[in-house]
Amino acid sequence: MEDAVHSVLSQGFNRWELIILNDGSTDGSDRLADELARKDLRIRVIHQSNQGLSSARNIGLAVAKGDFIGFLDSDDIYLAGAFQAVFSQISKSNADLIIGGYSYFKGKDFFHTHQFTVSKLSPEFLLRTNQAPPIAHFLKHSVAKSIGDFDTSLKSCEDWEYWTRVAKKGFKIITIPEVIAGYRYVPNSMSRQPKVMYQALSEVNRRAHCNDSQLSENSTEIAHHSADISEIQKNHLIRCLGVLIHQGKANEASAWYQEEVVKWNWVLEDKDWLGLSSPLSWRYFFDQDEIKTIFQKLLPELRIFFYELGYSPSKTSKLISEILRPQRYRLNHIRYGKLLGALINRIFK
């Protein structure tokens, strides 16, 4: 939490308030928050028993006074110049939701920066998938009042569900090219619950493409019934299967897939399986020890998964080679240097 707060304190733009929601922490964060608030009157601390992330955000929305609201989780940080970049966009456009670029980081190392290439997002973008972590979003306060609270019944994906409501009411969504946020990447996905995640993704996907009971009756809601819900659902499942395989549960993953494919009548192409490697699983595992672990532990699990789906050994090898291509290429760069590694990768595509 301390890094998150200091990322706000270090902003050159000083017209902000920081509301810290202590959601029943037991690690001393409550005392640290109170100490920080005593040092800076712009910081306000609210303590409550553990009620979950959505509840904490809702309380923050209820007491916030600013015209725009950001969503800073305790593991994440704002980068230098973030507030000024957002304020500059507010000053020159009538934006309702501003989304900035973000970088993943582990420890002090930043990697895989995502920047937007379009300045205005159509509703379809947010209805298909979450575009950025919460910290990269700044929402007009009046819009937050219009669309209501975060849904506390969702066990995951509550932020994506929230942005779909913004999109469906036709509010103006603007992106900025600046990288404004650092999103902490947790390399160990063993604590993830892919089936809980998939259930939440399924519910948000369903809501995104029908009239929403959470929006007011006189809403100017935009319902996109023509979207390919089945295709979106398939992509969600494959990412969640990747998490399960990464956890060493290939048998469970194959059985789960076969249950879902019957429900949805999917026909998968080879390229669809690339989605097993996602930010939820091993996509950004690129240091030497991580790659070594992938080839030692993950590769056998992938073989089990594809064999149980009826793929031949040769087809399985080809699919796995494509799925793990980024790690294989990176390992060659580490072992042989950029020039020779690149040559080897070009020869053995």
Q: Give the tens place of pLDDT for each residue, 93-148.
A: 889 999 999 999 988 889 899 999 878 788 888 888 899 999 999 999 999 999 99
Q: How far apart are CA 285 and CA 263, in angstroms?
A: 33
State residue 331 phi and psi, 5-degree precision: -65, -40
* pLDDT for residue 209: 79
Q: How far apart are CA 12 and CA 81, in angstroms?
A: 7
* pLDDT for residue 225: 44
pLDDT category of residue 213 using cuts at 50, 70 and 90: low
Mean pLDDT score of the chain, rounded to an integer?
A: 89
Q: How far apart are CA 130 and CA 235, in angstroms?
A: 12
State residue 98 phi and psi, 5-degree precision: -115, 130
Asked whether the predicted pLDDT for residue 220 surpasses 70, the reply is no
114 in Cβ contact with 102 (< 8 Å): yes
Tell me the pTM. 0.88
* pLDDT for residue 190: 57
Domains of the chain listed by start with CATH number: 2-191 (3.90.550.10), 228-347 (no CATH)
**Helix residue ranges per DSSP H, the chain:** 2-9, 29-39, 53-63, 82-92, 123-128, 141-147, 158-168, 194-208, 229-246, 250-264, 288-293, 299-308, 313-323, 325-347
266 in Cβ contact with 229 (< 8 Å): no
* pLDDT for residue 188: 62
Q: How far apart are CA 67 and CA 209, in angstroms?
A: 29
Q: How far apart are CA 233 and CA 318, in angstroms?
A: 25
- What's the rounded mean pLDDT across residues 191-210? 88
72 in Cβ contact with 139 (< 8 Å): no
Q: How far apart are CA 48 and CA 59, in angstroms?
A: 10
- What's the rounded mean pLDDT across residues 233-262? 96
CB atoms within 10 A of CB 266: 16
What are 277-324's pLDDT values in tens digits?
999 999 999 889 999 999 999 999 999 999 999 999 999 999 999 999
CB atoms within 10 A of CB 155: 14
What are 51-83's pLDDT values in tens digits?
888 999 999 999 999 999 999 998 999 999 999
For residue 204, give both structure tokens.
Answer: 């948000």
* pLDDT for residue 240: 96
Q: What is the DSSP letter of 136?
A: G
